[in-house]
Structure 1
């Protein structure tokens, strides 16, 4: 036997069949058809990625979670109402609190196409292995969804699927590096993707820790990995806003300050005690406790507290990141309108001061 199962009998049969035929002296190659490449029209980086927008002017973005159920009516009502307030982006969490929701890439595509609003898609390390993350990034690129927030993700144990496991093939730092490498046209394993990605990479910053200096060191490490800007966990005190400003004023990457209105005393206690990365001052817990049995007044108080924080944050930062509680998009509509109005007044005031000087 020779190569690949070929025997002398095979060779003799081919020779007998071709015996007497003239040799091929001039080989003709048909013209090669041009390769058809289907490329999304908006595959290039948007002219004004979020980190550029927030550097140039005050910017408001709002988180509105994908629905837990298949009915999307209220979600899109909220997305449309928020667009009308003039927000710069709608951020879409990736199965927040480790509970399954409609895919944020699917919802994000519809938000962009149907509402005309920029989607900022969160991407966690928890739910996908390296293969899934690479595939997901390729899908986002194909859909023209270029704004992503790279986060670790809440651990699976906090969700309502107790049998689920957390993947964590990569850390948030490695995920940022992976996306940045994707922007160079290379996969995680270094293979050529045939085209460069165009992702604007947001990263998380949690100031609700014992050592804000260590949190800032993590921030600087993420910048080194390739992060373009930051979005913080919800902040519930003006003192914390001042501490964050002081600790990050040497950093060039812009920061969106996270603010989430409280809806009740029970909501405040749950966030403070059960949700990783969120701490609420005793003063605010006491205020919300006063309206424990008054749901409407509780929401009004939650909005009032957040408006005060918006004013304090706008004095220090260009970016406001509002997080919608329990699909109560009406609260975010009121607050995003207030944030835009207050920021505009603040800009006019600063311009007038500059003219006088």
Structure 2
């Protein structure tokens, strides 16, 4: 009798964690390599679970794909590792009626950039082929947080084999995936794609797994599975532990069965003792065929407030828009900063944008300064946020704070690594890159937190993304723009451009995009400043003419100022004709230079308007 036939009639007990036991043995390297180097250790774990009563065991292959094995330089041993894992498990099963499932774990977490779907499919097919070649009883796909990933691999697996496919998702919050999709809807999608068993595993303990399954209907064709953790994890003496009594776990499995689960095992923290308790508790219980699904209490999500001021990306699509970067001070004297901000406001800018500890050097919090600009001076702030300084917890908290303060214009960037800044030994976090970060921010705009639960209120963020046009092959940078648009970027802010030719090239390469671009222009302050940018800042090259023009007045501050302004105005002339958005970068808090350029842009606008009126008059005369 095969696995599916048994599940029609019985509630089967699966095994528990393998990694937990190996971790408890003090092993802290690639667990899957042990299939080759210490097969007896793995075989003993399988045997312990079988003796505890497991009807189903899984191979020690959770991370045995080429992408994860590459971290240990073991990608070339992928096939041997997977084949050996099946052989060890089947040897442990012996002549028992124990089913052996080939395990393939998820690759993506929150970071979609960890692997493309194409890379995932290739790695999945390689691993699945190795497992299937050893006559397993089915495939177990477990710990998939990303719905796109698991739907893709289930679709792929179904084309590769007729064997049973068990597809299990993982949740940060009970009842919803990290993208906010209800668990029941996700499992229905997996069933429709051909999964024979659908369910959940990892992250949540028994209590929250039960709560999640209360809202899940019995599948029409597939069966339900549940592999909860032993409990929520704890850290004791720098070691991860799971505090859970085996008897408690056993009682919980009965409740899982009552919610329709027919294949019940354990994930992180579970041991043969937990599985023995589950087997004992489930003894004699038959699968349920009907259940009352708990009605999920609808959470009212308030719509975002409609602002009377259009977002910057909307304005830059249709009319002139000027934003100015004015970095917050590295010290606590804010006098010049606020004086400069007021002067720029009076000159007629749309927003002041502030970097988030640019070049990895600490400055006054841009959130604090943005709040003061808005409340005291009615200046619109555009706040940069890097992925460098905050983990996912901090990023979501920070964004919730910005929303609460009414600060809705943000630039999402990955951020300079800490080694370039004042504290090269500080930790760079980078839980996500700017790509995932943009997508997560847009998820907040739907009222859904990073973990998938409701925020009860939709945020209203307008999200800018960075654009570096100072590269050798601009087409590649444009491809990255297109990728960022796919992740949800509303508009782009470019790094400073120093030649008219580059501005024209940007226009030609991006004119197919409807997403607006603010072209960055930064006035040069001296010959030394020009030489530094040209020779030491990656990606920036000044023309020989520009370097010579600044060199000619290197000993005269007044002339240097005038020449820097003159060069910037020439760049503005070109940008003004081709782009609605202009982004002025204030050098060294020299806001007087930026103010002069803002005035110049408005003069160009006035002349353009005047030419338009004259043209209309001449047409009608």
**What displacement does 1:281 show?**
2.1
Q: Distance in 2 between matches of 1:356 and 1:55?
A: 28
Deviates more, 1:156-165 or 1:227-236: 156-165
**What displacement does 1:272 show?**
2.2
Q: Distance in 2 between matches of 1:346 and 1:249?
A: 21
Query: What residue ranges of structure 2 are gaps of 5+ in the alignment?
Result: 1-246, 249-301
Is 1:281 matched with 2:537? no
**What displacement does 1:350 show?**
3.6
Q: Distance in 2 between matches of 1:176 and 1:288?
A: 39
* Aligned match for 2:491, one of 211, 229, 236: 229
Is 1:105 matched with 2:367? yes
CA contact (8 A) 1:43 1:144 kept: no
- SS state at 1:231 partner: strand
Q: Distance in 2 between matches of 1:219 and 1:209?
A: 13
Deviates more, 1:62-71 or 1:150-159: 150-159
> 1:340 is matched with which residue?
602
Give matches, 1:286-305, under 5 Å: 286-305=548-567
Change (3 A) 1:138 1:276: farther
- SS state at 1:149 partner: strand
CA contact (8 A) 1:43 1:142 kept: no
Deviates more, 1:286-295 or 1:61-70: 286-295
* Aligned match for 1:200, one of 448, 462, 476: 462
**What displacement does 1:250 show?**
0.6
Q: Distance in 1 between matches of 2:547 and 2:573?
A: 20
Give matches, 1:168-247, under 5 Å: 168-247=430-509
Deviates more, 1:102-111 or 1:341-350: 341-350
Change (3 A) 1:188 1:351: farther
Change (3 A) 1:172 1:277: farther
- SS state at 2:428 partner: coil
- SS state at 2:464 partner: strand
**What displacement does 1:344 show?**
2.6
Q: Distance in 1 between matches of 2:536 and 2:618?
A: 50
Change (3 A) 1:293 1:187: same
- SS state at 1:120 partner: strand
Alignment coverage as a number of residue pairs:
319
**What displacement does 1:44 show?**
4.3
- SS state at 2:587 partner: coil
**What displacement does 1:304 show?**
0.7
Is 1:267 matched with 2:529? yes
Residue by residue, what CA displacement relative to the aligned partner does 1:131-187 show, whole Å, maximum 9, x if unpaired? Answer: 111111011001100000111212222212222232211111111101111101111
**What displacement does 1:45 show?**
4.4
Is 1:128 matched with 2:390? yes
Residue by residue, what CA displacement relative to the aligned partner does 1:98-152 show, whole Å, maximum 9, x if unpaired? Answer: 1110000100010111111100001111111111111110110011000001112
Over the aligned positions, Cα root-mean-square deviation in angstroms equals 1.8
> 1:157 is matched with which residue?
419
Is 1:316 matched with 2:550? no
Is 1:74 matched with 2:336? yes
Change (3 A) 1:95 1:246: same
Change (3 A) 1:333 1:189: same
**What displacement does 1:343 show?**
2.1
> 1:95 is matched with which residue?
357
**What displacement does 1:294 show?**
1.8
Q: Distance in 2 between matches of 1:253 and 1:347?
A: 24
* Aligned match for 2:611, one of 345, 349, 353: 349
Change (3 A) 1:354 1:274: farther
Change (3 A) 1:345 1:78: same
Q: Distance in 2 between matches of 1:166 and 1:273?
A: 26
TM superposition score normalised by structure 1: 0.85
Is 1:306 matched with 2:568? yes
Change (3 A) 1:129 1:278: farther
Q: Distance in 2 between matches of 1:344 and 1:151?
A: 34
Select the structure of larger CA radius of gyration: 2
**What displacement does 1:327 show?**
0.6
Deviates more, 1:326-335 or 1:159-168: 159-168
Deviates more, 1:294-303 or 1:209-218: 294-303
Change (3 A) 1:82 1:356: same
CA contact (8 A) 1:45 1:199 kept: no
CA contact (8 A) 1:233 1:277 kept: no
